[in-house]
Amino acid sequence: MFYTRLDANLCNMLRAILITCVLCLVSVFASGEQCSSVSQYGITWEFESPVECGTFANGDYWVTGPVTITRITPDVVYSHVHDGTSCSHEVHCPEYTGDYQGYEYSRNCVAGSCEDYVIRNGWQVNPDYNTDANQGGAGYQAFDSRISATDGGLMPALPYTANPGESIVKSVSNETGLCGGFEPRCLDTAAVLTVLGEAPPDYGATVFRPPYVGDEKPLYSVGQLRTELLPDLEPVSGAKTLEWVRWRYQMVQMNHEPGNTGRLISPMVNFHDPARYGPSLGVNNADAALTLMLDYPIEEKMPALINYVQAGIDWMYAVKQGKCWCKGGPGIQPGFKLVPVFAAVMLGDQEMIDMLKDAYFAENHYLKESSQVSGRALFGRDDYWSERGYWEYLVKVDTGVSVSTSAYKDPYGYIDGEIPVEGGYTVCCFPGTWKGEALAVALMPELKEAWSTDYLFDYVDRWVTA
Over residues 383-430, the pLDDT tens digits come to 666 787 777 777 766 655 554 456 778 889 998 887 655 567 888 888
CA atoms of 78 and 155, how far apart (whole Å): 10
The conformation of residue 320, written as its DSSP 8-state character, comes to: H
Structure confidence by residue, pLDDT tens digits, 24-44: 444 434 566 999 999 999 999
pLDDT tens per residue across span 45-103? 999 999 999 999 999 999 999 999 999 999 999 999 998 899 887 788 888 888 999 99
Among 201, 207, 217, 192, CA closest to 57: 207
Among 7-16, 48-57, 270-279, 382-391, top mean pLDDT goes to 48-57
Angle of helix 350-358 relative to helix 298-321, nearest 10 degrees, comes to: 50
Residue-by-residue DSSP string for 185-197: --EEEEEEEEEES
**C-alpha dihedral (421, 422, 427, 428), degrees to nearest 10:** -160
Q: What is the pLDDT of residues 343-394, one digit of tens each?
A: 999 999 999 999 999 898 988 888 989 999 988 999 988 766 678 777 777 7
- Is residue 327's pLDDT more than 90? no
pTM: 0.90
pLDDT at 298 over 70: yes
Mean pLDDT, residues 225-230: 98
Query: Would you place residue 134 in the very low, low, confident or very high pLDDT band (cuts 50, 70, 90)?
Result: very low
Task: Assign 450 a pLDDT band (cuts: 50, 70, 90).
Answer: very high
Q: Which long-range contacts (CB under 8 A, 24 or more apart) does 34-41 make?
A: 35/63, 38/63, 38/193, 40/191, 41/189, 41/191, 41/251, 41/269
Give yes or no for residue 136 having a pLDDT over 50: no
Kindly report the average pLDDT of the chain as a whole number: 87
Task: Indicate the range of 98-112, 233-247, 306-320, 442-456 predicted with least confidence.
Answer: 98-112
Confidence of residue 22 (pLDDT cuts 50, 70, 90): very low
